[in-house]
Amino acid sequence: MILAGGVGADQDTVDAPLHLGPEELLDDRYLLDTFLENTPDHVYFKDEQSRFIRVSCAMAAWFGLDDPADAIGRTDFDFFSELHAREAFADEQRLMRTGTSLVGIEERETWPDGRETWVSTTKVPLRDRRGRIVGIFGLSRDITEKKLAERRLAEQAEQLAEQARVLASLALVDELTGLYNRRGLTAYGEQLLHRSRRDGSPAALLFLDLDGLKRINDTLGHAVGDEALRTLADAVRETTRSTDVAARIGGDEFCVVLGGETAVVVELVVDRIHAALRRSPLPFELGVSVGSLEIDSATNGSMEELLLQADRSMYWNKLWRATGAER
């Protein structure tokens, strides 16, 4: 006789039952026990009241138990915080009512001592031989390190984003005065002008030039000149609102975009800037030449084009003051 499966095997040999190995490998209870003793995952069976009726060794160790049998008859309320136990109980009762499995959900487990762990969980209905749902069984895998790594990455990403925002902000701010620089004026001033044109509300553009900065630098030094620039910046900041856009756009040149202002209010703002400069603690008088441009929905031009117009207004104002003084 040739062995089963060989060429020419007789029919009796072909029909012989297939033996997979030792008899104990065909024992379902043995297979289940072996699985529950050796799997690294948290495997558990629960009855209709969500009480444990069997757990794996890994699950017992997760609960701090020496013997898996110690979990029998107990519930999540005996191990986890009440909040987590209540949420898990509600999920399991809903699962048993509907027969709908929970597959691959990520659960945050909270413990009475304040610890927090994460597991990836699958829970399915446990049915008896007649198909009735009599409980649930589930498998949870510890993913705490994965979640902590994700959290660290998210925090790092937020830190990088914040650093990028700070760098972007610094790129728009004049280091000496703390006002916006020319790039900041273009970015935020254009937004204010767009809103003004869209809403039909008035706006105004002020162009300010600190008088005599070169003379101050040449006679008293650049440190004093810098202090004069900061003094004018403080005067502008003091007399404008947070919704306005104030910038130092050149060596001695400043600009302010005032939203929703009429010519009367613009004149008042200019007077306040002059008054603030007169209160300056510097041992010399500070003066500033100002040009203004009213803007409405019909005013065309980019921020740079409007600045040129306001600059011309400032120039004629300075020239008028100079010729008036000479008379």
Are 94 and 179 in a shared domain? no
Tell whether 230 is covered by a domain: yes
What is d(CA 123, CA 121) in angstroms, rounded to the nearest whole number?
7
Is residue 158 one of the residues assigned to a domain? no
Residue 164 lies in a domain: no
**Quick one: 315 and 181 in the same domain?**
yes
pTM: 0.50
Q: How far apart are CA 226 and CA 199, in angstroms?
A: 39
Instruction: Please tell me the predicted confidence (pLDDT) of residue 9.
Output: 44
Structural domain contains residue 81: yes
How many angstroms separate the Cα of 289 from the Cα of each of 99, 160, 165, 258, 286?
A: 80, 42, 34, 17, 10
Signed CA dihedral, 127, 98, 123, 50: sign only: negative
- Domain count across the chain: 2
CATH number, residue 43: 3.30.450.20
Cα 295 to Cα 316: distance, rounded to the nearest angstrom: 19
Residue 314: pLDDT above 60?
A: yes
130 and 38, same domain (yes or no) = yes
State how far the alpha carbon of 178 is from the alpha carbons of 171, 274, 279, 308, in Å. 11, 20, 20, 23
Do 114 and 187 belong together in one domain?
A: no
Alpha-carbon span 55 to 43, nearest angstrom: 6
Which pLDDT does position 323 carry in this prediction?
67
137 and 203 inside one domain: no
Q: Tell me what pLDDT residue 2 has.
A: 36
Between CA 257 and CA 275 the distance in angstroms is 20
- Please give the Cα distance from 314 to 189 (Å, whole number): 19
For residues 79 and 66, give the distance between their C-alpha atoms in angstroms, rounded to a whole number. Answer: 14
**pLDDT recorded at residue 5:** 39
Summarised one tens digit per residue, pLDDT across range 202-242 is: 888 888 999 989 999 999 999 999 999 999 999 999 998 88
Mean pLDDT across 193-197: 80
Closest alpha carbon to 144 in 183, 101, 115: 115
Mean pLDDT of the region 157-167: 78
Residue 13 pLDDT more than 50?
no
> DSSP per residue over 40-61, as a string?
SSEEEEEETTS-EEEE-HHHHH
Under a CB-based contact definition with an 8 Å cutoff, are residues 270 and 205 in contact?
no
Q: Does 176 lie in the same domain as 322?
A: yes
- The answer to whether the Cα torsion of 44, 48, 51, 54 is positive or negative is negative
- Looking at the predicted structure, is the pLDDT value of residue 158 above 50? yes
203: CATH? 3.30.70.270
What is the predicted pLDDT for the residue at 292?
A: 82
Residues 140 and 41: beta-carbon distance below 8 Å:
yes
Same domain? For 178 and 229 the reply is yes
Reply yes or no on whether the pLDDT at 192 is more than 90: no
* pLDDT (mean) for 94-123: 96
What are the start-end ranges of the H helices in 114-221?
144-171, 182-184, 190-199, 213-220
**Alpha carbon distance 170, 177 (integer Å):** 12
Nearest to 304 by CA among 189, 167, 161: 189
Domain match, 103 and 186 both:
no
Using DSSP's 3-state secondary structure scheme, residue 132 falls into coil
How does residue 45 score in pLDDT terms, banded at 50, 70 and 90?
very high
In a domain? residue 154: no
Measured distance CA(6)–CA(239) in Å, rounded: 102
Asked if the model's pLDDT at residue 18 lies above 60, the reply is: no
Q: Are 117 and 202 within one domain?
A: no
The predicted pLDDT at position 21 comes to: 55
Residue 284: inside a domain, yes or no?
yes
Buried b (16+ CB within 10 A) or exposed e, 265-275: ebeebbeebee
Query: Residue 23 domain-assigned?
Result: yes
pLDDT tens profile 265-297: 888 899 999 999 999 888 888 989 888 888 877
Q: Are residues 48 and 99 in the same domain?
A: yes
Host domain of residue 222: 172-326
Judged by average pLDDT, the poorest of 111-120, 175-184, 192-201 is: 192-201
Rg (CA), the chain: 40
Say yes or no: 178 and 322 in one domain.
Answer: yes
Residue 272 lies in a domain: yes
Spatial neighbors of 59 by CB under 8 A, at least 6 apart, are: 42, 43, 44, 68, 71, 140
H/E run at residue 133: strand 133-142
Counts for the chain of helices (H) and strands (E), in that order: 11, 9
Question: pLDDT at residue 148 above 70?
Answer: yes
Domain boundary among 111, 130, 147: 147
Residue 318's pLDDT band, with cuts at 50, 70 and 90, is confident
The answer to whether residues 134 and 213 belong to one domain is no
| Confidence band, pLDDT 50/70/90 cuts, at residue 54 | very high
pLDDT, tens digit (0-9, with 9 covering 90-100), for 112-135: 999 999 999 999 999 999 999 999
Contact between residue 88 and residue 107 where contact means Cβ atoms under 8 Å apart? yes
Q: In the chain, what is the greatest distance between 2 CA atoms, to the nearest angstrom?
A: 136
